[in-house]
Amino acid sequence: MPTFRFSLAMLLAAVAASSVAAQTKTPPDLTGVYEIVSDKTVLPGGLKNLGSPAGVPLAPAAKDQMKSVDVKTDPARHCQPVGPFRMTARQENKIELIPATNGTIVMLFEDLSRGVMRTIYMARGHRADLGPLWMGDSIGKWEGDTLVIDTNSFGDQTWLNEEGAQHSDAFHLIERIRPILNGKYLEYKVTAEDPKALTKPYTYTRYYERSKTEIAQDNCREDGE
């Protein structure tokens, strides 16, 4: 019996140590430029893009509301920010991640007009004093090699998709970003929750390839879009 107790204690200690090690492990360096892979691309292991903002399960009231929306007023068509949920799924999207020494990770978009900038705060909780925001208030933490971003405080300026689905002020995103295939790619999974507009949480996945190219100065309106 003492031997069993000793073994159990050793096992528990080992589990605790490995859990602590996982939490205290140096997070991966995500610094760099990444370009979204096309929906046709299949990465090693059968990994590929799944779902899209068009697939959100709308509540009946949100479906009705969508019918009255004129898609010509889509912020994307007017070079306005589309918000993180739509932006990260956009074809040809290119992002730059900059982990800064001030406790933030900055995400910049080549399509600056629509993507703008996101600041992910790694050393604080959500602020209660922030008004409705286009990009929301993002806080992050590391779970092993995965960056988990929690975003709330969205306003009603952005849409859920180009069909005109609207979210409410209860819109909440949980994003999980991790490097895969020796850091050559990023896996990006986002789950959208909105108890007022969606019948259930919805998740889509995108893969981004690390790029050696520079971010270009891309001015949406200048291109006549």
Where does this chain bind other proteins (CB under 8 A)?
31, 78, 80-81, 96, 98, 100-102, 106, 108, 112-113, 116-117, 119, 121, 133-135, 157, 214-215, 217, 219, 221-222
Q: Which residue lies nearer to other proteins by CB, 73 or 203?
A: 73
Minimum Å gap between C-beta 135 and other proteins is 6
Task: Give the residues across from 36 on adjacent strands.
Answer: 208
Smallest distance, other proteins to C-beta of residue 119, A = 7
The residue among 56 and 95 lying less far from other proteins, judged by its C-beta, is 95
Other Cβ atoms within 10 Å of 138 Cβ, number: 23
CB of 117 to other proteins, least distance (A): 6
Dmax (CA) for the chain in angstroms is 78
Q: Are 3 and 181 in contact (CB under 8 A)?
A: no
Nearer to other proteins, 158 or 166 (CB): 158
Please, what is the minimum distance in Å from the beta carbon of residue 152 to other proteins? Answer: 14
Centroid of chain to Cα 12: 35
CB of 169 to other proteins, least distance (A): 16
3-class DSSP assignment, residue 6: helix
Residue with smaller CB distance to other proteins, 47 or 112: 112
Task: Please give the structure tokens belonging to residue 147.
Answer: 């960056």
Return the number of the residue (89 or 135) whose C-beta is nearest other proteins.
135
Q: Which residue has the tokens 């978009």?
A: 109
What is the C-alpha to C-alpha distance for residues 40 and 25, in angstroms, rounded to an integer?
35
Nearer to other proteins, 159 or 202 (CB): 159
DSSP state of 195: T
Alpha-carbon span 120 to 182, nearest angstrom: 24
User: Residue 148: phi, psi to the nearest 5?
Assistant: -110, 120
Residue 16, φ and ψ in degrees, nearest 5: -60, -45
For residue 128, the minimal CB distance to other proteins (Å) is 14
